[in-house]
Structure 1
Amino acid sequence: MENTDNQDKSTVERFGRFAQGNESENHKRLIILRHGHPEDLYALKQQVSHAREQLFENCPGMKIDAILYSPIKRTVRTAGEFYRLHIDEESKRMGLILPFQKQEWLTEKAGANLGYDGLLKEIQRLNNDWNTVLLVTHSTTGPHIARALQTDSSDIEIVSSMFELASIMVLDIPADDWAQAGQKPAHLAMTIAQPEERGEKVDFLEQGIETGPEECLGP
Protein backbone atom coordinates (compact mmCIF):
# COMPACT_ATOMS: atom_id res chain seq x y z
CA MET A 1 0.00 0.00 0.00
CA GLU A 2 1.31 3.45 -0.81
CA ASN A 3 0.19 7.01 -0.29
CA THR A 4 0.07 9.51 -3.11
CA ASP A 5 2.97 11.95 -3.15
CA ASN A 6 1.19 15.19 -3.96
CA GLN A 7 -2.19 14.73 -2.27
CA ASP A 8 -3.28 15.05 1.34
CA LYS A 9 -1.90 11.79 2.71
CA SER A 10 -4.84 11.54 5.11
CA THR A 11 -7.45 11.52 2.36
CA VAL A 12 -6.14 9.39 -0.53
CA GLU A 13 -4.54 5.95 -0.50
CA ARG A 14 -3.56 3.74 -3.42
CA PHE A 15 -3.15 0.00 -3.07
CA GLY A 16 -0.60 -1.73 -5.30
CA ARG A 17 -0.69 -0.96 -9.00
CA PHE A 18 -3.29 1.68 -9.81
CA ALA A 19 -4.54 2.04 -13.38
CA GLN A 20 -4.63 5.68 -14.40
CA GLY A 21 -7.82 6.55 -16.21
CA ASN A 22 -9.06 3.66 -18.35
CA GLU A 23 -5.58 2.58 -19.43
CA SER A 24 -6.31 -1.10 -18.89
CA GLU A 25 -8.64 -2.69 -21.41
CA ASN A 26 -9.07 -5.93 -19.50
CA HIS A 27 -10.78 -4.69 -16.37
CA LYS A 28 -14.05 -3.16 -15.31
CA ARG A 29 -14.10 -0.52 -12.58
CA LEU A 30 -16.57 0.25 -9.81
CA ILE A 31 -16.34 3.53 -7.94
CA ILE A 32 -18.35 3.16 -4.75
CA LEU A 33 -19.32 6.49 -3.18
CA ARG A 34 -20.98 6.65 0.22
CA HIS A 35 -23.64 9.34 0.54
CA GLY A 36 -22.81 12.76 1.99
CA HIS A 37 -24.29 14.45 5.05
CA PRO A 38 -27.91 13.31 5.47
CA GLU A 39 -29.20 16.63 6.88
CA ASP A 40 -26.78 19.44 6.00
CA LEU A 41 -26.98 20.09 2.25
CA TYR A 42 -24.07 22.55 2.31
CA ALA A 43 -21.84 19.98 4.04
CA LEU A 44 -22.95 17.34 1.55
CA LYS A 45 -21.96 19.56 -1.38
CA GLN A 46 -18.55 20.25 0.17
CA GLN A 47 -17.96 16.56 0.81
CA VAL A 48 -18.97 15.49 -2.70
CA SER A 49 -16.85 18.23 -4.25
CA HIS A 50 -13.77 17.09 -2.32
CA ALA A 51 -14.32 13.42 -3.14
CA ARG A 52 -14.80 14.09 -6.85
CA GLU A 53 -11.82 16.44 -7.02
CA GLN A 54 -9.51 13.89 -5.40
CA LEU A 55 -10.82 11.12 -7.64
CA PHE A 56 -10.02 12.94 -10.86
CA GLU A 57 -6.74 14.39 -9.64
CA ASN A 58 -5.59 10.81 -9.16
CA CYS A 59 -7.01 9.46 -12.43
CA PRO A 60 -7.50 12.44 -14.76
CA GLY A 61 -8.08 10.34 -17.88
CA MET A 62 -10.90 8.33 -16.40
CA LYS A 63 -14.33 8.36 -18.05
CA ILE A 64 -17.36 7.49 -15.96
CA ASP A 65 -19.88 5.66 -18.11
CA ALA A 66 -22.87 5.60 -15.74
CA ILE A 67 -24.01 6.79 -12.31
CA LEU A 68 -26.30 4.43 -10.39
CA TYR A 69 -27.72 5.39 -7.01
CA SER A 70 -29.81 4.17 -4.11
CA PRO A 71 -33.34 5.66 -3.97
CA ILE A 72 -32.86 6.92 -0.39
CA LYS A 73 -32.98 10.74 -0.10
CA ARG A 74 -29.38 11.20 1.09
CA THR A 75 -27.99 9.10 -1.76
CA VAL A 76 -30.22 10.80 -4.32
CA ARG A 77 -28.86 14.18 -3.19
CA THR A 78 -25.29 12.92 -3.27
CA ALA A 79 -25.65 11.43 -6.75
CA GLY A 80 -27.34 14.59 -8.00
CA GLU A 81 -24.54 16.79 -6.70
CA PHE A 82 -21.84 14.58 -8.23
CA TYR A 83 -23.71 14.59 -11.53
CA ARG A 84 -24.14 18.38 -11.40
CA LEU A 85 -20.41 18.88 -10.89
CA HIS A 86 -19.50 16.28 -13.49
CA ILE A 87 -21.73 17.34 -16.37
CA ASP A 88 -21.15 20.92 -17.49
CA GLU A 89 -23.34 22.96 -19.80
CA GLU A 90 -21.15 22.29 -22.83
CA SER A 91 -21.50 18.55 -22.30
CA LYS A 92 -25.28 18.93 -22.12
CA ARG A 93 -25.38 20.86 -25.38
CA MET A 94 -23.27 18.19 -27.07
CA GLY A 95 -25.57 15.46 -25.82
CA LEU A 96 -22.86 13.87 -23.69
CA ILE A 97 -25.22 12.92 -20.89
CA LEU A 98 -24.23 9.73 -19.12
CA PRO A 99 -26.86 7.34 -17.72
CA PHE A 100 -28.13 8.47 -14.29
CA GLN A 101 -30.32 5.75 -12.83
CA LYS A 102 -32.01 4.90 -9.54
CA GLN A 103 -31.37 1.30 -8.43
CA GLU A 104 -33.33 -0.44 -5.67
CA TRP A 105 -30.52 -2.95 -5.13
CA LEU A 106 -28.23 -0.21 -3.78
CA THR A 107 -30.32 0.58 -0.67
CA GLU A 108 -28.82 0.42 2.82
CA LYS A 109 -30.35 -3.04 3.39
CA ALA A 110 -29.15 -4.54 0.11
CA GLY A 111 -26.71 -6.88 1.85
CA ALA A 112 -29.40 -8.28 4.13
CA ASN A 113 -31.98 -8.50 1.35
CA LEU A 114 -29.85 -9.92 -1.44
CA GLY A 115 -26.82 -11.52 0.20
CA TYR A 116 -23.47 -11.75 -1.56
CA ASP A 117 -24.80 -13.88 -4.40
CA GLY A 118 -27.63 -11.45 -5.10
CA LEU A 119 -25.31 -8.44 -5.12
CA LEU A 120 -22.90 -10.25 -7.44
CA LYS A 121 -25.73 -11.00 -9.85
CA GLU A 122 -26.64 -7.31 -9.96
CA ILE A 123 -23.05 -6.43 -10.84
CA GLN A 124 -22.98 -9.13 -13.50
CA ARG A 125 -26.12 -7.62 -15.07
CA LEU A 126 -24.55 -4.20 -15.65
CA ASN A 127 -24.53 -2.90 -19.21
CA ASN A 128 -21.39 -4.23 -20.83
CA ASP A 129 -20.93 -1.00 -22.78
CA TRP A 130 -20.02 0.57 -19.44
CA ASN A 131 -16.43 0.10 -18.29
CA THR A 132 -16.47 2.43 -15.28
CA VAL A 133 -19.57 2.76 -13.13
CA LEU A 134 -20.15 5.03 -10.12
CA LEU A 135 -22.37 3.48 -7.44
CA VAL A 136 -23.76 5.94 -4.89
CA THR A 137 -24.78 3.88 -1.90
CA HIS A 138 -24.36 3.34 1.84
CA SER A 139 -21.74 2.28 4.38
CA THR A 140 -23.69 -0.96 4.75
CA THR A 141 -23.78 -1.81 1.07
CA GLY A 142 -20.36 -0.79 -0.25
CA PRO A 143 -18.41 -3.34 1.84
CA HIS A 144 -20.88 -6.09 0.96
CA ILE A 145 -20.36 -5.40 -2.75
CA ALA A 146 -16.59 -5.53 -2.26
CA ARG A 147 -16.82 -8.86 -0.48
CA ALA A 148 -19.24 -10.26 -3.05
CA LEU A 149 -16.47 -9.55 -5.58
CA GLN A 150 -13.90 -11.35 -3.36
CA THR A 151 -11.85 -8.17 -3.11
CA ASP A 152 -8.19 -8.81 -2.30
CA SER A 153 -8.11 -6.77 0.93
CA SER A 154 -8.86 -7.45 4.56
CA ASP A 155 -12.34 -6.96 5.97
CA ILE A 156 -11.10 -4.10 8.13
CA GLU A 157 -9.64 -2.28 5.11
CA ILE A 158 -12.87 -2.72 3.19
CA VAL A 159 -15.18 -1.64 6.00
CA SER A 160 -13.01 1.30 7.09
CA SER A 161 -13.00 2.66 3.54
CA MET A 162 -16.67 3.58 4.10
CA PHE A 163 -16.17 5.08 7.58
CA GLU A 164 -16.74 8.66 6.50
CA LEU A 165 -19.54 10.44 4.69
CA ALA A 166 -18.84 10.80 0.95
CA SER A 167 -15.89 8.41 1.14
CA ILE A 168 -14.90 6.50 -1.99
CA MET A 169 -13.69 2.96 -2.63
CA VAL A 170 -12.39 2.13 -6.13
CA LEU A 171 -12.54 -1.52 -7.17
CA ASP A 172 -10.87 -2.86 -10.30
CA ILE A 173 -12.43 -6.09 -11.57
CA PRO A 174 -10.17 -8.34 -13.70
CA ALA A 175 -12.71 -8.99 -16.45
CA ASP A 176 -13.66 -7.45 -19.78
CA ASP A 177 -17.29 -8.49 -19.32
CA TRP A 178 -19.42 -7.74 -16.26
CA ALA A 179 -20.79 -11.30 -16.46
CA GLN A 180 -17.31 -12.50 -15.46
CA ALA A 181 -17.26 -10.41 -12.27
CA GLY A 182 -16.49 -12.52 -9.22
CA GLN A 183 -14.54 -15.19 -11.09
CA LYS A 184 -11.28 -13.60 -9.93
CA PRO A 185 -10.76 -11.35 -6.89
CA ALA A 186 -11.38 -7.66 -7.42
CA HIS A 187 -8.59 -5.25 -6.47
CA LEU A 188 -9.06 -2.40 -3.99
CA ALA A 189 -7.25 0.20 -6.08
CA MET A 190 -7.84 3.38 -4.11
CA THR A 191 -9.75 4.90 -1.22
CA ILE A 192 -10.67 8.53 -0.68
CA ALA A 193 -11.70 9.98 2.68
CA GLN A 194 -12.67 13.47 3.79
CA PRO A 195 -10.25 15.92 5.43
CA GLU A 196 -10.70 16.14 9.19
CA GLU A 197 -12.72 19.35 9.12
CA ARG A 198 -15.29 17.88 6.72
CA GLY A 199 -15.36 14.20 7.47
CA GLU A 200 -17.74 12.58 9.92
CA LYS A 201 -16.63 9.20 11.16
CA VAL A 202 -19.07 6.53 12.25
CA ASP A 203 -18.43 3.98 14.95
CA PHE A 204 -19.08 0.58 13.40
CA LEU A 205 -15.54 -0.77 13.22
CA GLU A 206 -16.38 -4.34 14.14
CA GLN A 207 -20.04 -4.46 13.14
CA GLY A 208 -20.79 -6.52 10.06
CA ILE A 209 -17.24 -7.76 9.54
CA GLU A 210 -17.96 -11.25 10.83
CA THR A 211 -21.75 -11.27 10.79
CA GLY A 212 -22.12 -11.12 7.01
CA PRO A 213 -24.90 -9.50 4.99
CA GLU A 214 -27.58 -10.16 7.60
CA GLU A 215 -26.27 -7.31 9.76
CA CYS A 216 -26.16 -3.62 8.87
CA LEU A 217 -23.09 -1.53 9.61
CA GLY A 218 -24.75 1.86 10.13
CA PRO A 219 -25.68 3.45 6.79
Structure 2
Amino acid sequence: MAQPAPLICPSILAGDFARLGDEARAVEVAGADWLHLDVMDGHFVPNLTIGPDICRALRPLCGLTFDVHLMCAPADPWIEAFAEAGADVLSIHPEAGPHLHRSLRRIRQLGKKAGVVLNPATSVDVLDWVIEDLDLVLIMSVNPGFGGQGFIEGALKKIEAVRARLDAAGSSAVLQVDGGVKAENARACVDAGATALVAGTAVFKGGAGAYAANIAALKA
Protein backbone atom coordinates (compact mmCIF):
# COMPACT_ATOMS: atom_id res chain seq x y z
CA MET A 1 0.00 0.00 0.00
CA ALA A 2 1.33 3.44 -0.92
CA GLN A 3 2.57 5.58 1.93
CA PRO A 4 0.75 8.90 2.51
CA ALA A 5 2.59 12.05 1.51
CA PRO A 6 4.83 13.32 4.31
CA LEU A 7 4.50 16.64 6.04
CA ILE A 8 7.00 19.06 4.51
CA CYS A 9 8.66 21.32 7.06
CA PRO A 10 10.89 23.94 5.40
CA SER A 11 13.78 25.03 7.61
CA ILE A 12 13.86 28.81 7.76
CA LEU A 13 17.60 28.49 8.40
CA ALA A 14 18.00 28.12 4.63
CA GLY A 15 15.88 31.18 3.87
CA ASP A 16 17.01 34.72 3.19
CA PHE A 17 17.64 36.16 6.67
CA ALA A 18 17.08 39.68 5.37
CA ARG A 19 13.54 38.67 4.35
CA LEU A 20 12.46 36.04 6.88
CA GLY A 21 8.85 37.22 7.03
CA ASP A 22 8.52 37.09 3.26
CA GLU A 23 10.16 33.67 3.18
CA ALA A 24 7.79 32.27 5.81
CA ARG A 25 4.76 33.55 3.90
CA ALA A 26 6.14 32.25 0.60
CA VAL A 27 6.57 28.66 1.76
CA GLU A 28 3.11 28.70 3.31
CA VAL A 29 1.59 29.79 -0.01
CA ALA A 30 3.74 27.19 -1.78
CA GLY A 31 2.15 24.34 0.16
CA ALA A 32 4.41 23.71 3.16
CA ASP A 33 2.82 21.99 6.16
CA TRP A 34 5.00 23.24 9.02
CA LEU A 35 7.72 25.86 9.42
CA HIS A 36 10.87 24.49 11.05
CA LEU A 37 12.87 26.88 13.23
CA ASP A 38 16.42 25.76 14.03
CA VAL A 39 17.53 27.31 17.31
CA MET A 40 21.31 26.99 17.81
CA ASP A 41 23.17 28.40 20.79
CA GLY A 42 26.80 28.28 19.67
CA HIS A 43 27.47 25.92 22.59
CA PHE A 44 25.53 22.68 22.14
CA VAL A 45 26.13 22.99 18.39
CA PRO A 46 28.79 25.08 16.59
CA ASN A 47 26.51 27.77 15.21
CA LEU A 48 24.34 30.64 16.44
CA THR A 49 20.96 31.29 14.82
CA ILE A 50 17.69 32.70 16.16
CA GLY A 51 16.00 33.40 19.47
CA PRO A 52 12.43 33.79 20.74
CA ASP A 53 12.09 37.32 19.38
CA ILE A 54 12.43 36.06 15.79
CA CYS A 55 9.81 33.41 16.44
CA ARG A 56 7.51 36.05 17.92
CA ALA A 57 8.04 38.38 14.95
CA LEU A 58 7.24 35.65 12.42
CA ARG A 59 4.20 34.32 14.25
CA PRO A 60 1.61 36.88 13.00
CA LEU A 61 2.97 36.61 9.45
CA CYS A 62 2.54 32.87 8.95
CA GLY A 63 -0.26 30.46 9.80
CA LEU A 64 1.82 27.28 9.64
CA THR A 65 2.60 25.09 12.62
CA PHE A 66 5.82 26.45 14.15
CA ASP A 67 8.13 23.50 14.69
CA VAL A 68 10.96 24.67 16.98
CA HIS A 69 14.07 22.52 17.27
CA LEU A 70 16.04 23.54 20.35
CA MET A 71 19.74 22.83 19.81
CA CYS A 72 20.60 24.44 23.13
CA ALA A 73 22.18 23.26 26.36
CA PRO A 74 20.62 23.58 28.78
CA ALA A 75 17.35 23.55 26.86
CA ASP A 76 14.99 24.03 29.80
CA PRO A 77 15.40 27.83 30.13
CA TRP A 78 14.24 28.28 26.55
CA ILE A 79 11.12 26.12 26.63
CA GLU A 80 8.79 28.68 28.17
CA ALA A 81 10.27 31.55 26.15
CA PHE A 82 9.59 29.86 22.82
CA ALA A 83 6.19 28.62 23.95
CA GLU A 84 5.23 32.21 24.72
CA ALA A 85 6.72 33.37 21.40
CA GLY A 86 4.37 31.18 19.38
CA ALA A 87 5.96 27.75 19.02
CA ASP A 88 3.51 24.90 18.47
CA VAL A 89 5.99 22.02 18.66
CA LEU A 90 9.15 22.06 20.79
CA SER A 91 11.80 19.39 20.30
CA ILE A 92 14.78 18.85 22.58
CA HIS A 93 17.86 16.62 22.66
CA PRO A 94 18.31 14.07 25.48
CA GLU A 95 21.86 15.36 25.91
CA ALA A 96 20.70 18.94 26.48
CA GLY A 97 19.46 18.60 30.03
CA PRO A 98 19.55 16.33 33.08
CA HIS A 99 15.87 15.30 33.14
CA LEU A 100 14.39 14.55 29.71
CA HIS A 101 11.09 13.30 31.11
CA ARG A 102 10.58 16.46 33.18
CA SER A 103 11.40 18.68 30.19
CA LEU A 104 8.94 16.89 27.93
CA ARG A 105 6.23 17.11 30.56
CA ARG A 106 6.89 20.85 30.92
CA ILE A 107 6.42 21.37 27.18
CA ARG A 108 3.08 19.62 27.35
CA GLN A 109 2.05 21.54 30.47
CA LEU A 110 2.47 24.70 28.41
CA GLY A 111 -0.01 23.34 25.86
CA LYS A 112 2.61 22.54 23.21
CA LYS A 113 3.54 19.33 21.45
CA ALA A 114 6.73 17.69 22.71
CA GLY A 115 9.46 16.11 20.64
CA VAL A 116 12.77 14.38 21.24
CA VAL A 117 15.71 14.61 18.84
CA LEU A 118 18.14 11.77 18.14
CA ASN A 119 21.57 12.73 16.84
CA PRO A 120 23.36 10.25 14.55
CA ALA A 121 25.16 8.66 17.52
CA THR A 122 22.22 8.79 19.97
CA SER A 123 20.68 5.41 20.72
CA VAL A 124 16.99 4.84 20.04
CA ASP A 125 16.80 3.19 23.48
CA VAL A 126 16.27 6.62 25.03
CA LEU A 127 12.72 6.54 23.65
CA ASP A 128 11.63 3.56 25.71
CA TRP A 129 11.05 5.51 28.91
CA VAL A 130 9.45 8.65 27.43
CA ILE A 131 7.49 7.36 24.46
CA GLU A 132 4.12 8.05 26.07
CA ASP A 133 5.08 11.72 26.44
CA LEU A 134 6.08 12.23 22.81
CA ASP A 135 4.21 13.89 19.99
CA LEU A 136 7.25 13.82 17.70
CA VAL A 137 10.55 12.02 17.23
CA LEU A 138 13.14 13.80 15.09
CA ILE A 139 15.90 11.73 13.51
CA MET A 140 18.95 13.80 12.62
CA SER A 141 20.42 12.55 9.34
CA VAL A 142 23.37 14.94 9.73
CA ASN A 143 25.29 16.09 12.78
CA PRO A 144 23.46 19.23 13.92
CA GLY A 145 24.90 22.70 13.61
CA PHE A 146 24.94 23.64 9.93
CA GLY A 147 22.65 23.51 6.92
CA GLY A 148 23.68 22.10 3.57
CA GLN A 149 25.27 18.88 4.85
CA GLY A 150 25.03 15.52 3.10
CA PHE A 151 22.49 12.90 4.19
CA ILE A 152 23.92 10.12 6.40
CA GLU A 153 22.61 6.91 4.83
CA GLY A 154 22.72 5.04 8.13
CA ALA A 155 19.84 7.23 9.29
CA LEU A 156 17.46 5.06 7.27
CA LYS A 157 18.06 2.13 9.63
CA LYS A 158 17.41 4.40 12.59
CA ILE A 159 14.15 5.59 11.03
CA GLU A 160 13.09 1.95 10.66
CA ALA A 161 14.04 1.20 14.27
CA VAL A 162 12.08 4.16 15.61
CA ARG A 163 9.10 3.35 13.41
CA ALA A 164 9.02 -0.14 14.91
CA ARG A 165 9.13 1.26 18.45
CA LEU A 166 6.37 3.78 17.82
CA ASP A 167 4.14 1.17 16.21
CA ALA A 168 4.74 -1.33 19.01
CA ALA A 169 3.77 1.32 21.56
CA GLY A 170 0.68 2.34 19.62
CA SER A 171 2.10 5.86 19.40
CA SER A 172 0.77 8.38 16.87
CA ALA A 173 3.88 10.56 17.22
CA VAL A 174 5.15 12.21 14.06
CA LEU A 175 8.43 10.67 12.86
CA GLN A 176 10.48 13.48 11.36
CA VAL A 177 13.82 13.46 9.52
CA ASP A 178 16.17 16.43 9.29
CA GLY A 179 19.46 16.84 7.45
CA GLY A 180 20.39 16.56 3.82
CA VAL A 181 16.82 15.72 2.83
CA LYS A 182 16.09 16.26 -0.85
CA ALA A 183 13.85 14.87 -3.57
CA GLU A 184 16.33 12.09 -4.32
CA ASN A 185 16.17 10.56 -0.82
CA ALA A 186 12.75 11.70 0.41
CA ARG A 187 11.01 8.53 -0.78
CA ALA A 188 13.55 6.32 1.01
CA CYS A 189 12.87 8.20 4.24
CA VAL A 190 9.12 7.75 3.87
CA ASP A 191 9.48 4.08 2.95
CA ALA A 192 11.55 3.62 6.12
CA GLY A 193 8.70 5.07 8.19
CA ALA A 194 9.10 8.84 8.28
CA THR A 195 5.95 10.96 8.25
CA ALA A 196 7.57 14.43 8.15
CA LEU A 197 10.59 15.82 6.33
CA VAL A 198 12.59 18.90 7.26
CA ALA A 199 14.22 20.44 4.19
CA GLY A 200 16.27 23.59 3.87
CA THR A 201 18.12 24.05 0.61
CA ALA A 202 15.82 21.57 -1.13
CA VAL A 203 12.89 23.95 -0.54
CA PHE A 204 14.51 27.38 -0.66
CA LYS A 205 16.67 26.90 -3.76
CA GLY A 206 15.63 28.87 -6.82
CA GLY A 207 13.73 31.65 -5.09
CA ALA A 208 10.07 31.98 -4.16
CA GLY A 209 8.88 31.10 -7.65
CA ALA A 210 10.38 27.63 -7.26
CA TYR A 211 9.16 26.80 -3.74
CA ALA A 212 5.91 25.11 -4.76
CA ALA A 213 7.66 22.82 -7.24
CA ASN A 214 10.39 22.04 -4.69
CA ILE A 215 7.81 21.10 -2.06
CA ALA A 216 5.85 19.00 -4.54
CA ALA A 217 9.01 17.12 -5.49
CA LEU A 218 9.62 16.22 -1.84
CA LYS A 219 6.05 14.96 -1.46
CA ALA A 220 6.12 12.90 -4.68
The normalised TM-score by structure 2 is 0.33
The normalised TM-score by structure 1 is 0.33
Q: Which has the higher contact order (CA 8 A, sep 6+)?
A: 1
